[in-house]
Structure 1
Amino acid sequence: MTEKDVPGIRKYDAPAGGWGALRATAKAISDQMAAPEAAITLYRTNKPEGFDCPGCAWPDRHHTSTFQFCENGAKAVTWEATKKRVTPEFFASNSVSSLLEWTDYQLEDQGRLTNPMAYNAEKDIYEAVGWDEAFRRIGQILRDQPDPNMVEFYTSGRASNEAAFLYQIFAREYGTNNFPDCSNMCHEATSVGLPKSIGIGKGTVSLDDFDTCELIIAIGHNPGTNHPRMMGTLHEVARRGAPIIVLNPLRERALERFADPQDALEMATFGATEIASSYLQPRIGGDAAALKGIMKALLEMEAEQGEAAGILDREFIEGHTNGFDAFAEDLRATSWAGIVAESGLPEEELRKVAQAYAKSNATIVTYGMGVTQHSTGTRNVQQIANLLLLRGNFGKPGAGICPLRGHSNVQGDRSVGITEKPSAGMIDRIEQRFGFRAPSQHGHDAVAAMQAIIDGRSRVLICLGGNLGVALPDADACFAGMRRLELSVHIATKLNRSHLLVGKNTFILPCLGRTEQDIQSTGPQAVTVEDSMSMVHASRGKLKPASEELRSEPAIVAGMASATLPASRVRWMEMLADYDLIRDAIEAVFPEFLDYNARIRIPGGFRLPLPPTERIWPTASGKAEFLRFSGVAEDPRPADEAVLKLATIRSHDQYNTTIYSLDDRYRGVFGRRDVVFMNEEDMNDRGIQQGDRIRIRTALDNEGDRILENVIAVSYKISRGSVATYYPEGNCLIPLNYIDPTSGTPSYKSVPVHITLA
């Protein structure tokens, strides 16, 4: 195939990180902040007396290092601490209809929101409104609803523990368990799947485990973009010689070569470290088949060499697990032909992974949304747990499971009660602490909430952060549903498209960011967050707030609750004055936060209990469970051979729906997002050349009218039969009900499509 010279598409041969990362960091600072202020602010990132990075949830080794931020972390910090402002004058000069014509990047690039705003439908603009008036109007509309279950309380993972806890208490006293949450769209399969396997829905490793692990198997994630602080850890593991086996449909630069910007010698010599010792590219939707192949190979190795060879940890299996015999029989009955066809990987490559795994005495498996965002996402996660159970890789140093969370407190929000499925014990303890009985029926997750909004069964949406309308699949249906709401409320730091999907009454309530001082009546306050390894630590902003009108998230939640529930028995304003009282209440409802206020004052914080690390299994049986995966197909089988599998992915200059720039440096895309990454052979089969305009059409039953047009084909190192395009632009191809039925997670990562020349 002859490649065309396509504007904005060029090879990028440098390693991930390195001087490219430093240049990008410098540009982010110059675009958003004054250099001296930026330097001081970044120095405070992830320090005991500083603030937690608002980017990814990867932990910091001691929370005290000299520099603990990465390129994308610097972008997240400067994006929040920007000198740019969105004032009432901005809204007066720009109608909502005109702002809808702006790109998502342009909207957020305007800067920080400064005043509470209410939509004026007659003028089609937002107008400034006082806080008390906003709370009064919101409270009145909430009280007027005929059924509390017609209200949806959405939460973004960037909310602090304190804000999230008050929020769920507010909603439950109001009378609903409708808690759509950003985790519903990413790692819900982990939260639902792992408790059935090992008893908890969290990872079991610490950073110290990466110092002693003998093997890492990395499945379905791109750390250089989505959790870049992890690259320092992988860099250390690779430098000490421990193998890192990658399974990912796309070749991602950060998993190939990485230059650590904090390694003076590597930077001075323009060197780089090879990260992956082996890089396998399964077809999209082939992870479950690949995992079954690795595990089948292990069984066959044991059968050939005998149990004494120690291929499987028989002592661990017999003493700590259930279900092995049925699980093993299913593996033996699964054909290699089916595994190879579905995974897209040769049998010998999968056997090599099994051999490496059998040699390792301590293995960590890391995984991301390439595993969870499928119609079998929950069962995919359970297969990873099965793999680790086979060799006893729980409850020993250097071993365990590591789901890679996104937002810096998405795990913490869950720990303090953001769930649509409250336990009986949680309900009892809420009643003991606050004097009201919370509802017990299950509420809505994110997809169910949006379906209720579209159908008119829910009339109010309150968003504690986030960009829900854009984040979910099927934007046309989501946008139309949100415009029919009686009330929508957005607690936010910056403007985004969801704020422009105005209903009968719509409010934007600007809040403090992580970087800013939070001063209440008793003085400066700290909030707390939990990282992806269950460490809870304090975060204290130091910057002067972007506007005197900003309020903290706890203050906004307390203000809405007080206005909505005038007879509430919860002491909202008392807790708001002193966040220690919020943490006392969290401890009363969630006993694992024992001595919360004392332990949060220890530099670095404390770790929440993780029973599997002690080989204690909080499952119904009291043991870890081997859970079978029927067959090898991860997603519905396509109707014909011409169908490709599409995954939606983030660019390097992007965090969730926030787009920092139009570049995707490591993939060689600059200044544009209208691209589809394709395998060269797949392009040849369809007579497509790089730069050709193409049309993507969904190949699901009754979904043929879902089309993404005016995008270009880009030749990329992606597995045969697989294609990828950017999120959220590709969301239009995904039906809202195309989900993992067990967890409700949308199948963003495996959409059957037809691709033709436009």
Structure 2
Amino acid sequence: MSTLKDSDLHGKQGEHDAPGGGWQSVAATEKHFLRERVPWHGNRLMLKINQPDGGFECPSCAWPNPKDPGPAEFCENGAKAVAWEATAARTTPEFFSKHTVTELREWSDHDLEKQGRLTHPMRYNAETDKYDPVDWETALRDIGQQLNTFDPWKVELYTSGRTSNEAAFLWQLFGRMYGMTNFPDCSNMCHETTTVALPQSIGVGKATTTLEDFEHADAIFIFGQNAGTNSPRMMGHLHEAKKRGAAIITFNPLRERALVKFANPQTPRDMATNHGETISSQYHQVRIGGDIAAIQGMCKLILEADDRARENGDKPVIDHEFIEMHTDGFEAFADHCRSLSWERIERYSGLPKESLQQAANAWMASERVICCWGMGITQHIHGGDNVHQILNLLLMGGHIGRRGAGACPVRGHSNVQGDRTVGIFHRSGEKFLSKMDEVFGINCSREHGHDVSLCCEAILRDEVDAFIGMGGNFFRAIADQKRVAEHVPNLKLTVQISTKLNRSHLIHGQSAYILPALARTERDEQAGVVQKVSIEDGMCNVQGSVGQLEPASKHLKSEIAIVCDMARATLAPNPKVDWAWLCEDYARIRDRIEATQPETFPDYNRRLEEEGVFHLYIPARDRIWNTESGRAHFLFPGNVLAEDESKPNDPHFQLLTTRGHDQFNTTVYSYDDRYRDIYGTRSVLMMNPKDIEAHGFEAGNIVELSSVNEDGIERKVSGFRIIAYDMPENCLGAYYPETNDLIPIGNRDQQSGTIAGKSVPVNIRLMNTEEVEEATGRLATA
């Protein structure tokens, strides 16, 4: 067996290795514009991105814009997203006439979307197994007629985070008037855990920070978030914080390049040297699923230091005044942390006491602490408990409602938070529903509908008649993808409202439509007037967005127009809802949003026009706790370490699924992952080198992964090449969505329903030569 050399180890970042960002980032941006054949107008377009005065909001991540944005307020991956939708390529009816759906299913996700922008409405023809062009009137009439034959509770309306506030509001209005509350939402697959757990702790499900807080923080803790790939503009703020002396403490199983060192492409000094700034003061490679143990270990050390300080008459380490005035549950939590043994903490976190002491020291040395987290925290069976422990860490120091401190969940898609704010929720509260009834003269159902997991389970039971997707790539993004896809042909109707061809168009019902929509970069004219939509970012700022480009085809409709036309084709007339009138002027929609949520959106249109951007009120920033007790809560699971899904010494490995650097959600821009030194393939399995040797494998071996679960269903994917990676033992990493088939739909956070995609128990089997040849060139899910 060969011995691994240092040069074989991926993810090991040395002092002289290239940083994240820098000239490589600039070169990658230009490469993508050239590849999509938009070099000139693409670069001009980028000068309008994230600009409050007549610009458009980035269609990629939800990181907020500064108060005074610079002329180039974008990042590498935002530029990729813009180039991807501004591409010169077109997926025309001629393309569909040449390819059957069966043939297209063998194509990769990258190659499907690479065909370019959809240009015409298309309808599936079962006789030819192809999509044929259809006019809008016929398509919408048929969809409406079919919807009127179904039980509304057997219809699912999905929403992608790309959808604007205005379109999302009308989408849920349509669903409620139709007679159900089945609103599966992309947030159900990522930060739903945050949205559920945060209110339990502090009474609000959103960030308590603003960008200005990053300018004053003494320490920034980052848990399970790879900002360099998923929110690259965040790196600029971390870069500046580190330069002025803030400590940045990272907890992540994978050693991610940009969080080690980053060269800001908008900083002349960094670009001149391409050396960059060391970002993480400390980098702790916690075991997959070991976050609760790590955070409670820090809390134990902080409490012990506070006990000593009080015994010696020194200044307390924790903020007792804040705890006494604003919280409950502290003593029980403190007793729990004190009772934990270091043997258990180290075993379950995968970190030595000395490392956690270093992190605790950084917390104790700081007057202002921000905690950031991503899906490495939320996508676990105990995801909500993970979030609660982060909040406990903040509450101990009074780090909520203080400048330079707070909770910062780093959201994914650009308007995933805004969609929820305006009503995309399968279990909305009475206050919102009663206002909907009042404003629109309807009677909204109070029954809870389906989120993503419940939708998938209903499809598996053949209890869904129709699925309509507002954006996204639902049938590729979900867990248990292959099992669910096998039942989709039993649906009577599937409709996908999309900008580009993707796999969900090929997993269809008996009747199927593709409805092409305008992209956010494109000019949206209604009644001869260019329209503005609005977006809420991950820190609760609402900003307008005006498309700049000519539409990719004259046959495209805006998402708002599609919703309005579909509603008119489906619903009986309502004197209080004139869909055509609403579609003519999007300001009218914002007036209706304000009417249903006057406290959230006071003077919506005026503020959007006069201020350009405004911040939604977050009570916790003023230390107002909208909980039943009126106080913030210390919450913790008493026995989670004993039941943790990443128990050491189990015979299986723990797999985390992750994005590549040239990827946004299910959109794959290329087969390269520059930050991890992986090129030309996505069928890789990242593995600790000690595990490779201990289990008799070699780097380069091709293996099959099978999930370990209790439901007796076989789930496996094959054809993955082992690469040595700098990560904890017994932990694995592989790309999403190629490994989604390994995740049982039932493996999810029990309160939020978020799938546990960051802690998947699996076994590995070496494939023989014949199996490898058979798997070559095949999709992992085929």
Q: What is the CA deviation profile of residues 622-649 of structure 1, one whole-angstrom value per residue up to 9, with x for unaligned ones?
A: 1101112223437436596332110000
Partner of 2:146, secondary structure, is helix
Aligned to 1:157: 161
* 1:180 corresponds to: 184
Q: Are residue 535 (structure 1) and residue 544 (structure 2) matched?
A: no
- Judge conservation of contact 1:383–1:629 (CA < 8 Å) in 2: no
Partner AA of 2:490 in structure 1:
R
Tell me the SS of whatever aligns to 2:626.
coil
Equivalent residue, structure 2, for 1:56: 61
Contact 2:288 2:646 in 1 (8 A): no
The answer on whether the counterparts of 1:342 and 1:632 sit within 8 Å (CA) in structure 2 is: no
How far off is 1:453 after superposition? Answer: 1.4
Indicate the residue corresponding to 1:317 in structure 2: 323
Listed as ranges, the matches of 1:692-703 within 5 Å are 692-703=701-712
Does 2:41 align with 1:40? no
Q: Output aligned runs, 1:568-587, within 5 Å.
A: 568-569=574-575, 570-587=577-594
1:679 is matched with 688
Q: Is 1:620 the equivalent of 2:621?
A: no
The answer to whether the 8 A contact 1:32-1:84 is kept is yes
Aligned equivalent of 1:406: 412
Against the structure 1 CA distance between its residues 11 and 280, is the aligned structure 2 distance closer, same or farther, given a 3 Å change threshold?
closer
- The alpha carbon displacement at 1:352 in A equals 1.9
Segment drifting more, 405-414 vs 679-688 = 679-688
- Inter-partner Cα distance in structure 2 for 1:390 and 1:148: 47
Partner of 2:84: 79
Residue matched to 1:224:
228
Asked whether the 8 Å contact 2:4–2:689 carries over to 1, the reply is no
Partner residue, 2:211: 207
Give yes or no for contact 1:135–1:560 (8 Å, CA) kept in 2. yes
Aligned to 2:663: 654
Contact persistence 2:260–2:278 (CA under 8 A): yes
The answer (yes or no) to whether the contact 2:11–2:257 under 8 Å persists in 1 is no
- Whether 1:560 aligns to 2:566 is yes
Moved more, 592-601 or 568-577: 568-577
- Superposed CA deviations along residues 603-632 of structure 1, whole A, max 9, x for unmatched, are 541000100000000111111011122234
What secondary structure sits across from 2:654 in the alignment? strand
1:331: how far off? 1.4
From 439, 445, 448, give the equivalent of 1:439: 445
1:220-275 superposed Cα distances (whole Å, 9 cap, x missing partner): 01011111111111111111111100000010001001011111121112221100
1:495 aligns with 2:501: yes
Is contact 1:248–1:282 with CA below 8 Å preserved after alignment?
Answer: yes
* SS of residue paired to 2:722: strand
Q: Does 1:132 align with 2:121?
A: no
User: What is the identity, as a one-letter code, of the residue corresponding to 1:706?
Assistant: R
Relative to the length of structure 1, the TM-score reads 0.98
**1:8–1:292: structure 2 CA closer, same or farther, 3 Å change rule?**
closer
The code of the aligned residue for 2:409 comes to P
Q: Determine the structure 1 residue equivalent to 2:773.
A: none
Confirm or deny: 8 A CA contact 1:562 1:568 kept in the other structure. no
CA distance in structure 2 between the partners assigned to 1:355 and 1:4 by the alignment: 35
1:386 and 2:353 matched? no
User: Alignment partner of 1:229: what SS?
Assistant: helix
Amino acid at match of 1:330: H
Deviations 1:359-386 (A, max 9, x none): 1000000000000000011111111111
Distance (whole Å) between structure 2 residues aligned to residue 195 and residue 91 of structure 1: 47
What letter is aligned with 1:116? Answer: P
C-alpha separation in 1, matches of 2:7 and 2:688? 17
Task: Name which of structure 1's ranges 231-240 and 364-373 shifts more when overlaid on structure 2.
Answer: 231-240
CA positional deviation for 1:434:
0.4
Return 108-117 or 641-650, whichever deviates more: 641-650
Give, in whole Å, the separation in 1 of the partners of 2:400 and 2:645: 33
Select the residue among 664, 667, 672 that pairs with 2:673.
664
Query: How far has the Cα of 1:308 moved from its partner?
Result: 4.7
1:742 aligns with 751
Q: How big is the shift at 1:690?
A: 1.1
Please state whether the residue corresponding to 2:123 is helix, strand or coil.
Answer: strand
Give the CA deviation at 1:411. 0.3
The answer on whether the counterparts of 1:47 and 1:63 sit within 8 Å (CA) in structure 2 is no
d(CA) in 2 for partners of 1:141 and 1:125?
21
Corresponding residue for residue 2 of structure 1 = 3
1:259 corresponds to which of 254, 260, 263: 263
Q: Distance in 2 between matches of 1:395 and 1:640?
A: 42
Deviations 1:78-110 (A, max 9, x none): 101110001111111111111111100000000
Deviation digits for residues 521-568 of structure 1, max 9, x if unmatched?
151100000000000000000100000011100000001011000323
Hey, what does 2:421 align to over in structure 1?
415
Q: How does 1:67-466 map to 2 (within 5 A)?
A: 67-145=72-150, 147-306=151-310, 308-466=314-472
Indicate the percent of aligned positions where both proteins have the same amino acid. Answer: 48
Q: Distance in 2 between matches of 1:702 and 1:456?
A: 19
Name the amino acid aligned to 2:622: E
Q: Distance in 1 between matches of 2:154 and 2:626?
A: 34
Contact 1:115 1:510 in 2 (8 A): yes
Residue 11 and residue 207 in structure 1: after superposition, are their counterparts in 2 closer, same or farther (change >3 A)?
A: closer
1:484 matched residue in structure 2: 490
Note the C-alpha offset of 1:282: 0.6
CA 559–7 in structure 1, closer or farther in 2 if over 3 Å, else same: farther
Equivalent pair of 2:19/2:274 in contact (CA under 8 Å): no
**In structure 1, distance between residues paired with 2:706 and 2:647:** 13
2:652 paired residue among 610, 626, 643: 643
Stretch deviating more after TM superposition (429-438 or 602-611): 602-611
Q: Partners in 1 of 2:189 and 2:51 — Cα distance?
A: 30
Tell me which amino acid in the other structure corresponds to 1:341.
R
The one-letter code sitting in structure 2 at the alignment partner of 1:583 is R
Partner residue in 1 for 2:718: 709
Aligned-partner Cα distance in 2 for 1:498–1:461: 11
Contact 1:25-1:75 within 8 A present in 2 as well:
yes
Worse overlay, 111-120 or 328-337? 328-337
- The alignment status of 1:755 with 2:764, answered yes or no, reads yes
Cα distance in 2 for residues equivalent to 1:3 and 1:86: 46
Kindly state the Cα deviation for residue 10 of structure 1 after the two structures are TM-superposed: 10
Deviations 1:140-190 (CA, angstroms, capped at 9, x unpaired): 111101x21100010000100000000000000001110100000000000
When structure 1 is superposed on structure 2, of 469-478 and 327-336 the one drifting more is: 327-336
Q: Which residue of 2 aligns with 1:733?
A: 742
Query: Deviation of residue 354 (structure 1)?
Result: 1.2
Judging changes above 3 Å, is the alpha-carbon distance between structure 1 residues 366 and 6 closer, same or farther for their aligned structure 2 residues? Answer: closer
Structure 2 segments unaligned to the other structure (5+ residues): 768-782
- For 2:741 and 2:647, the matched residues in 1 are separated by 19
Question: Relative to 1, partners in 2 of residues 1:378 and 1:9: Cα closer, same or farther, differing over 3 Å?
Answer: closer
TM-score by length of 2: 0.95
Task: Give the counterpart of 2:637 among 629, 632, 648.
Answer: 629
Q: Is the 8 A contact 2:164 2:535 kept in 1?
A: yes
1:363 maps to amino acid: V
